[in-house]
Structure 1
């Protein structure tokens, strides 16, 4: 007769000690559409795809403002030329309860030079990405959503290259996967492609450039020194 009460007590005790019954596990991200948001940002002539997500299960230091800067520099990007931004910041609604917000920061390909390399990208064209953080009250994953695209040079008004969204994503992922280091920090990045969250095609997409419907999830882990 005592077996059931003792078993229940043991279960309660184990839960109280370990916290397993009440702990909320981290998630990669929440689908913006489920909270009234979109997997496209708001640009001049439609939306640009949020085609790379840095998982909320990445090392916490990667997901901070300083952390994403150092990680960006580890994979070949840095702040805009001399810290100057031309044009209106784009906005996005990640469905987290924060509504539509301006991009947190924008990074450009730096051609191996953290300080002046992005000036070459502004002149010659190359890859770049905008960042938003999903941290609102209704969907606080901490994940970073990136709008990645490859653009032409200044003489072409930085219009995107043909297939610029898919190419930009693929080039960023290729630069990120594996082990990279910068500023005394070493990162290991694992990539996973996700389908079903983004429709393929050009309908409503900025510049009318089609996307393939693939989002790449990056999980970035800081390695112990």
Structure 2
């Protein structure tokens, strides 16, 4: 016989399943088509490229951020050192009808020794993330701004070519994770046309190649 607490939990779980969005016909929508941009907003006229789009299987649940954190940890990231964050959140408009919204997550490279606290000191890979889930383009995909950072003495500025490097390091880690287990399969496609190449409008004036890595995870 279910106790009241167990019944409440069961109903909550059922409600979460019923509330989950239907299976999508597309992995993501082009933000530019909905008045958004594949570049986030750091300051007026400047932003960082949303150079990775990730659809890591479990985004269709009420635990969106927790599920994405699990995926991010599998590919070498984790939460910030001691939960401490300095600096204002960046915003992004994913063309989904939500307008410009604050980042949902910010994760740093998780070193084997020292974890993300070491990244805060010596630099490393780093990502910010948003979910495309607005009323006009509800794909559920994560849009990520990934970059390789300098150390704390350099103010965590982006290293030369740091946007391309950060993206490609994440992709390499994701491929290594997929090759090391059998429960999931992963594909990566580099897509052009979403993001202009070059440094125009890009924070720190750092040029990038305009390629967006689209990562898709499926259960075997």
TM bin (shorter chain): 0.7 to 0.9
Q: Give distance in 2, aligned partners of 1:187 and 1:91.
A: 31
1:195 paired to 2:154? no
> Corresponding residue for 1:155?
153
TM-score using structure 2 length = 0.82
TM-score using structure 1 length = 0.81
The verdict on how the C-alpha distance between 1:75 and 1:181 changes in structure 2, with shifts beyond 3 A counting, is farther
**Equivalent pair of 2:109/2:124 in contact (CA under 8 Å):** yes
Q: Give distance in 2, aligned partners of 1:62 and 1:54.
A: 13
- CA shift digits 1:131-155 (9 cap, x unpaired): 0000000000000000000000001
> CA RMSD of the aligned region, Å?
2.3
Q: Secondary structure at the match of 1:135?
A: strand
> Corresponding residue for 2:211?
214
Q: Secondary structure at the match of 1:140?
A: strand
The match for 1:167 among 165, 176, 195 is 165
Write out aligned runs for 1:23-172 (5 A).
25-44=24-43, 46-55=46-55, 58-61=56-59, 64-112=64-112, 117-172=115-170
Q: CA deviation at 1:187?
A: 4.0
> Corresponding residue for 1:7?
none
Q: CA deviation at 1:191?
A: 0.5
Q: Give distance in 2, aligned partners of 1:48 and 1:179.
A: 26
Q: Give distance in 2, aligned partners of 1:62 and 1:150.
A: 29
Computing the radius of gyration from Cα coordinates, the structure with the larger value is 1
Q: CA deviation at 1:207?
A: 0.3
Q: Give distance in 1, aligned partners of 2:154 and 2:75.
A: 26
The verdict on how the C-alpha distance between 1:174 and 1:75 changes in structure 2, with shifts beyond 3 A counting, is same
